[in-house]
A and B are shown apart, each in its own frame.
Chain A
Amino acid sequence: QQQVKQSPQSLIVQKGGISIINCAYENTAFDYFPWYQQFPGKGPALLIAIRPDVSEKKEGRFTISFNKSAKQFSLHIMDSQPGDSATYFCAATPSGSARQLTFGSGTQLTVLP
C-alpha cells in the first residue's frame, strides 16, 4: 500500500500560536490531498483539501502548503484555539481511485489555554 508519512505524532501549542503538521508521499499518481480533523468519538471531517496544481490554499485559519517537487504538503493552523484540539490526518488519493484515501498516521494536537 502506498504510504503517506505524517509528522509529528503529537503537538502541543499555546493558544494563539501556529500549529504545523507535515506530510510526505511517495506515489506520484496522487492528485488530491485532503486534511481531516477527528474529535474523540466522531468520524473524521474534511477540513481543507488541495490539488497539486496550486502551491497554497487558505480557508480561514487553515492553510495547506504544497511542494510538488519535494512531494510534501503541510497544514498550518494560525491563531490556534483550544477548540482545535483534535487528531489531524493528512490523506491522498489518485485520480483513478477518487475515494480510496490513503491516510497519514495522524497528529494529536493539544492547544493549551
Chain B
Amino acid sequence: KAGVTQTPRYLIKTRGQQVTLSCSPISGHRSVSWYQQTPGQGLQFLFEYFSETQRNKGNFPGRFSGRQFSNSRSEMNVSTLELGDSALYLCASSRGGGTHNEQFFGPGTRLTVL
C-alpha cells in the first residue's frame, strides 16, 4: 500500500508570495490533517479535512487555508508569506470516523521563505 505523498518536497518562496502544497492520502483514507513543524514551536496542528469538510482548525491566521477534493487529496495554501512561515509542513492521513484512528504522516514539504 502506498504511503502518504506530499508535493513538492522542497520549496523556496519570497515574502509576500503565496504557496500551495499538495497531499495525497493513503488509498481509502478520508481524513487529512496538516501540521507545521518548526524548531521553535515544534509540531502544531493546522487543520483537518474529512469528506471535503474542514472539521477542526488550529490557532493559525486566516492566511493558512486548505481544501479537500472528492478523491480525498488535499491542498494547503498560505497567502502573503512571512519569514516565520518557513517550516516543514506535514500531512497526515487516517481512515477518519469518530475513533482515534492511526494517523500516517507523509515526509513533509520543506518551505523556505526568503
Contact = CB atoms under 8 A, between A and B. Distances in A.
Interface of A: 1, 32, 34, 36, 41-46, 49, 51, 89, 93, 97-106
Contacts of B96: 99
B42 A99 contact: no
Contacts of A41: 107
B42 A101 contact: no
A43 B48 contact: no
A99 B101 contact: yes
Contacts, number: 66
28 contacts: A1-B44, A36-B105, A42-B107, A43-B4, A43-B105, A43-B106, A45-B104, A46-B103, A49-B102, A89-B43, A97-B48, A98-B98, A98-B100, A98-B101, A99-B33, A99-B48, A99-B56, A99-B101, A100-B33, A100-B45, A100-B56, A100-B58, A101-B33, A101-B45, A101-B103, A102-B45, A105-B42, A106-B43
B43 A99 contact: no
Contact of B92 (A32, A49, A99, A105): A99
Interface in B23-72: 31, 33, 35, 42-45, 48, 55-56, 58-59
A43 B107 contact: yes
A97 to B, nearest CB: 5
B94 interface: yes
Interface residues of B, number: 29
Interface of A is mostly: loop
A86 to B, nearest CB: 14
Interface string B86-112: 000010101011111111111110000
Nearest to A93: B100
B100 A32 contact: yes
Contacts of B35: 101
A34 B94 CA distance: 14
A43 B108 contact: yes
